[in-house]
Amino acid sequence: MKKKPLLTIGIPAYNVELFIEETTTSVATSKYSDIIEILIINDGSTDQTLQVAKTLEKKYPCVKVIDKPNGGHGSAINSALKNATGKYFRLLDGDDWFDTEEFDGYIEKLQSETADIVFTDLVEHFIKTGLNRPITYYPNLPEYKTLPLDTVRFLEWGPMLPTTTIKTDILKKFNLKIDENCYYVDQEYNLACYLASKTASYYPFMIYQYRLEREGQSMQKTSLIKNVKSHEIVCKRLLDIFHKYSKTMTNTRRKHLSKKVIIPMCYMQYVIAIEYCKSKERFLSFDKIIKLYPNFYNDPGIAGTLTRLHRKTKGHLVKIDPIIRKIADKKNKIFISNNVKTKFFLLIGAIFMITAINALIINCIDLDQTFSQNNAAIYYEESSNLVKLFNQSPFDGLKAISESMNTERNLLPILPMIPFLKIFDISKLSYILIIFNLYILPFAILMTQTFKYTFHRKKRPIKWWLIPIVFAIFLLVPLIIPSIAINPNAIDLTIIGLILYLIAKTKLRSTHSYLILGFLASMLILFQKQSILYILGLYFLIFTIKTAINYIKCSDKKHFFSMTIKTSIKLVISAAITTILVLIF
């Protein structure tokens, strides 16, 4: 009884007599050819492709030729899958080839593989320039490790026909017949592989050698214009499949298919119809199709300002689209200039506000009443003494600060003020102004930026006039609290502002951000010992929120626990840095 092959390689072949021997030989000469099945699908070629394939069939026992009438690339894929008997299945176009050495390494690993889908890498070969460019689409994935496919985050495209190996039985069971007599059906195949699979693994082998710049390839502009109807058919098929399986998909899969497959394809269809073909009919034809899917129809990634204009005018302006586009470009330049002007006026407004508040402090503050508060008066006296010490010897000044850190009155918050107190004298007024400009002003700036990062969304950008209002609030609120306004401990506000800004900007996604958090937390505790309660609360809050997010995003318990443990480890590292720095200083 003949042993079941490990891998079936389907080779769709149409008029590739110049390439098919190199393509087939690159696989048939593998040292593992005894566990490989090669199916050459001759798709009604009109040249010598079939004759060359028959010769290769006689030469290599692993090669089998299937001759069929012309039905397009999708038809050849369907035929290859139908006749495949291997445990795994992958495709190789008739004008490309495999790196045999890399392929052998891949087969060694594949023999013990259990994942539904396996990703590898490819090399792009540019015929005209002679450039060879290795492409790695999955650099973020661990090597040779089986993962739940729902946990895989694709940085670019994925899965892709040239980089994908899939279990034959699950693809057959999914039973998605690829469109025949149609171009661009690779995306249908990619979609089927992704939806049919549950687990994935990545092998860092540059197997697929992808030949580019060959005349007549489907992604050339002339081919896109000629085959615009095919592109539309595939877009509709993708939309139909997405709609059919959307409710049963995880959130991760929906997002990936939307952003990486559906949106780029539909956007490109509009580009072909409007910019390349300049065809009202082609534009209206696709617009009618996508209108049935409101989520995509209104997505800004598919339909920009000009596309929406063509919708409103029923495609009558498509013919003069280049002229409209030039006008729009000029308008965009003006808009950019207006944006710069807006930023300039916001900057001028901020400077005016800061100057006005400084003037208000100078003219309206009652120094005697302000310094009648015991705490403020003592800090002012300590600041004056420290300036004198630093004038005599910086070492003596630092020693005095160091000794105070173990007492109830920590003088460390005064340290950043020393250079300014030396420059602007040690008067009560300069003391208050320095605290405001050195501590409270940065706090207001940081909190304004934190507000922008927290609430700004691409679809709903923050109104420009909200920025000065938020800035004014964070600038004025600390001033109306006397204990903060004239106390060097207002430096705590700046550090808290830095921590909140870090969280808003990075969302604490990387280990690097946790390291910075640990450093900032240690600084806060060094300036104010009581802040340790704030830090403990902050760490608990971060852990709680991150755990809740992981619970919502993760599709299975195993992945949830894995992400929760990673978050815990990062928080422990951050807390360790805080503890070490506090103990050192």
Q: Tell me which of 554 and 71 has the higher pLDDT.
A: 71
Residue type at 243 in one-letter notation: H
Rounded to 5°, angle at Cα 570 from 567 and 576: 140
| DSSP secondary structure, 88-104, as one string | EEEE--TT-EE-HHHHH
The first and second tokens of residue 350, run together, are 């901020």
Mean local confidence (pLDDT), 238-263: 90
498: pLDDT strictly greater than 50: yes
For residue 141, give the 3-state DSSP assignment. Answer: coil
Greater pLDDT, 132 or 287: 287
DSSP secondary structure letter of residue 218: T
Task: Answer yes or no: pTM beyond 0.75.
Answer: no
Q: At which residue do the structure tokens 């003596």 appear?
A: 396
pLDDT (tens digit, 9 = 90+) per residue, 148-196? Answer: 998 888 877 778 889 999 999 999 999 889 999 998 899 999 999 999 9
Question: Which pLDDT score, from 0 to 100, does residue 1 have?
Answer: 47
CA 123 to chain CA centroid, Å, is: 23
| Lookup: tokens for 261 | 């497959």
User: Which single residue is written with the structure tokens 């015991």?
Assistant: 374
Give the least confident one: 47-51, 347-351, 448-452. 347-351
Q: What is the pLDDT of residue 488?
A: 85
What pLDDT does 489 receive? 84
352 pLDDT tier (thresholds 50, 70, 90): confident
pLDDT on residue 213: 65
> What is the mean pLDDT of the segment spanning 406-413?
82
Backbone angles phi, psi at 39, to 5 degrees: -110, 110
Q: Quick one: DSSP state of residue 438?
A: I
Backbone angles phi, psi at 205, to 5 degrees: -110, 130
Q: Is the bond preceding residue 416 a cis peptide, omega within 30 degrees?
A: no
CA distances from 80 to 90, 225, 370 (A): 9, 29, 86
The pLDDT value given to residue 201: 95
CB 415 within 8 A of CB 401: yes
pLDDT at position 74 is 93
Query: In which band, very low, low, confident or very high, does the pLDDT at 481 lie, cut at 50, 70 and 90?
Result: low
Q: Over the stretch 219-231, which tens digit does the pLDDT of each residue have?
A: 677 888 888 999 9
pLDDT of 131 over the 70 cut: yes
Alpha-carbon separation of residue 468 from 105, 208, 348, 464 (angstroms): 61, 55, 11, 8
Residue 154: predicted pLDDT: 84
Q: 389 is written with which tokens?
A: 């010490």
Q: What span, in angstroms and rounded, lies between the C-alpha atoms of 411 and 427?
A: 18
Write out the two tokens for 147: 């993962």
Q: Which is nearest to 167 in space by CA: 2, 1, 5, 3? A: 5
Greater confidence (418 vs 406) lies with 418
Give me the phi and psi of 569, to 5 degrees please: -65, -45
Residues 228, 177 contacting (CB under 8 angstroms): no
* Lookup: tokens for 340: 């710069």
Q: Which of 154-163, 450-459, 466-475, 559-568 has the lowest mean pLDDT?
A: 450-459
In contact, 408 and 530? CB cutoff 8 Å: no
Give residue 571's region: left, alpha or beta (phi > 0; psi -120 to 50): alpha
pLDDT in tens, 548-577: 887 877 766 777 888 889 889 989 999 999
Percent of the chain with pLDDT over 90: 46
Whether the CB-CB separation of 311 and 305 falls below 8 Å is answered with no
Question: How far is residue 225's CA from residue 183's CA, in Å, rounded to a whole number?
Answer: 12
Task: For 521-537, write each residue's pLDDT tens digit.
Answer: 999 998 888 888 889 89
Of 428, 371, 421, 424, which is closest to residue 397 (Cα–Cα)?
421
Tell me the C-alpha distance between 285 and 283, whole Å.
Answer: 5
| Burial per residue of 256-293, b for 16 or more beta-carbon CB atoms within 10 angstroms, e otherwise | bbbebbbbebbbbbbebbbeebebbebbbbbbebbeeb
The mean pLDDT of the chain is: 87
As assigned by CATH, the class of the 1-214 domain is alpha beta
Domain coordinates in residue numbering, the chain: 1-214, 217-316, 365-506, 509-585
- Nearest Cα neighbor of 181 from 42, 46, 72 is 72
Average pLDDT over residues 390-406: 86
Question: Whose CA is closest to 536, among 582, 490, 477?
Answer: 582
pLDDT in tens, 78-119: 999 999 999 999 999 999 999 999 999 999 999 999 999 999
Tens of pLDDT, residue by residue over 8-27, are 999 999 999 999 999 999 99
- As given in the structure block, the two tokens for residue 409 are 């009155």
For 276-334, the pLDDT digits (tens) are 999 999 999 999 999 999 989 999 899 988 899 999 999 999 988 888 888 777 665 55
Strand partners for 42: 13, 67
- Which residue intervals of 248-366 are DSSP H helices? 251-256, 263-271, 280-290, 294-297, 305-312, 321-364
Interatomic CA distance for residues 335 and 345, integer angstroms: 15
Q: Which amino acid is at 380?
A: Y
* Cα–Cα nearest to 322, from 277, 285, 284: 277
* Residue 555 vs residue 127, higher pLDDT: 127
Q: Provide the CB-side half-sphere exposure for 216 (13 A, CA).
A: 4
Task: Give the residue from 7, 52, 23, 42 showing the smallest Cα distance to 210.
Answer: 23
Q: 546: pLDDT confidence band, cut at 50, 70 and 90?
A: confident
Tally Cβ neighbours within 10 Å of residue 156.
Answer: 11
State the DSSP code for 249. S
Which of the pair, 9 or 409, is modelled with greater confidence? 9
- Dist CA 61 CA 51 (whole Å): 17
SS (H, E, C) 176-190: CCCCCCCCCCHHHHH
